[in-house]
Amino acid sequence: MPELPEVEHVCRNLQKLVVGKTIGCVEVRLPRIICYPSIQEFCAQLQGLTIQGVRRRGKYLIFSIPPFELISHLRMEGQYRLAISEEEQPHTHVVFHFTDGTELRYRDVRQFGTMHLTDRPENYPIGLQTLGPEPFDESLNASYFLQIAGRRKLSVKALLLQQDVIAGIGNIYADEALFLAGIHPAASCWQLKKKDWQRLLVSVREILQMAIEAGGSTIRSYADGYGRHGGFQIQLQVYQREGQPCQHCGREIVKIRLAGRGTHFCPKCQKIPRVQSDSQSVQRRKEA
């Protein structure tokens, strides 16, 4: 499941593979992938245009194809692959035929991926329009999290998954970052102090940076533009390691369900920050 590091890697490879290529025609075999505009317009508008660049924003891939932008989200299992004459893999839903005889194939087993083609920001997918800051954005700091979530009772894991709060984090790296920060995923946002947010932000950046350098994580199906798998999965400390010993303390990794997602953590290393709430302090005064 591609998150920021995987999309970043795909993006860098696509920059090498498709920039400068001119589209001859486009084949759309699964209409649901194309969210905007209609299939007919999508194909007709791309014909004869040249790809000038590819960039990433959150988990979105944005192809610059003047005067348009093609915004592609891989969701769970979307993959791009540049091909010449190789046999086509099943679940290939969109094919961009280039004038040089090569083709860019979009493959997506679970059919969750989306594409938008537009020259107007108001037609961007909602998620891109409301996307929060990039994790490596220098203006991002602990105060931002305190301000946006300091009073909320939402779990910190659920908050990390909200793309309008911080862009690009998915289930794998949310679990890993919380482990690295020593914060319990079920801790409520209001329980975190500024230093906790600071530690979490540092951990998020550290995990994402390491994963980018390793070429991302391949859990089920992720592959880059060349069909290569990522290497970070072997460095995962908690994700999908339920029942195995924590590599820090030896305690069994536990799996719970949080925010509708499988959530993995070490019950010894990851604590809910201790906060003395008003009601608790009133209670203590009464007891005293």
Partner DNA sequence: AGCATCTCCTGTAGGC
Partner DNA sequence: TGCCTACAGGAGATGC
261 lies in the binding site for DNA (CB under 7 A): yes
In angstroms, rounded to a whole number, what is the distance separating the alpha carbons of residues 74 and 59?
Answer: 8
Single out the residue of 216, 12, 27 nearest to residue 107, CA to CA. 27
Is there a binding annotation on residue 91?
yes
2 is catalytic: yes
Q: Which of 3, 6, 8, 69 is catalytic?
A: 3
Of the ranges 13-21, 103-111, 177-185, 274-282, which one interacts with DNA (CB under 7 A)? 103-111
Single out the residue of 104, 88, 93, 91 nearest to residue 19, CA to CA. 104
Q: Binding residue for DNA (CB under 7 A) from 95, 112, 133, 228?
A: 112
217 lies in the binding site for DNA (CB under 7 A): no
254 lies in the binding site for DNA (CB under 7 A): no
Toward DNA, which CB reaches closer, 112 or 144?
Answer: 112
Of the ranges 109-117, 139-147, 192-200, 274-282, which one interacts with DNA (CB under 7 A)? 109-117
Between helices 171-181 and 194-213, what is the axis angle to 10°? 130
Q: How far apart are the first and last CA of the chain?
A: 53
Single out the residue of 2, 41, 1, 4 nearest to residue 208, CA to CA. 4
In angstroms, rounded to a whole number, what is the distance separating the alpha carbons of residues 43 and 129?
Answer: 24
92 lies in the binding site for DNA (CB under 7 A): no
Of the ranges 44-52, 70-78, 176-184, 226-234, which one interacts with DNA (CB under 7 A)? 70-78
Active site positions, annotated: 2-3, 59, 261
Annotated binding residues for DNA: 91, 110, 152
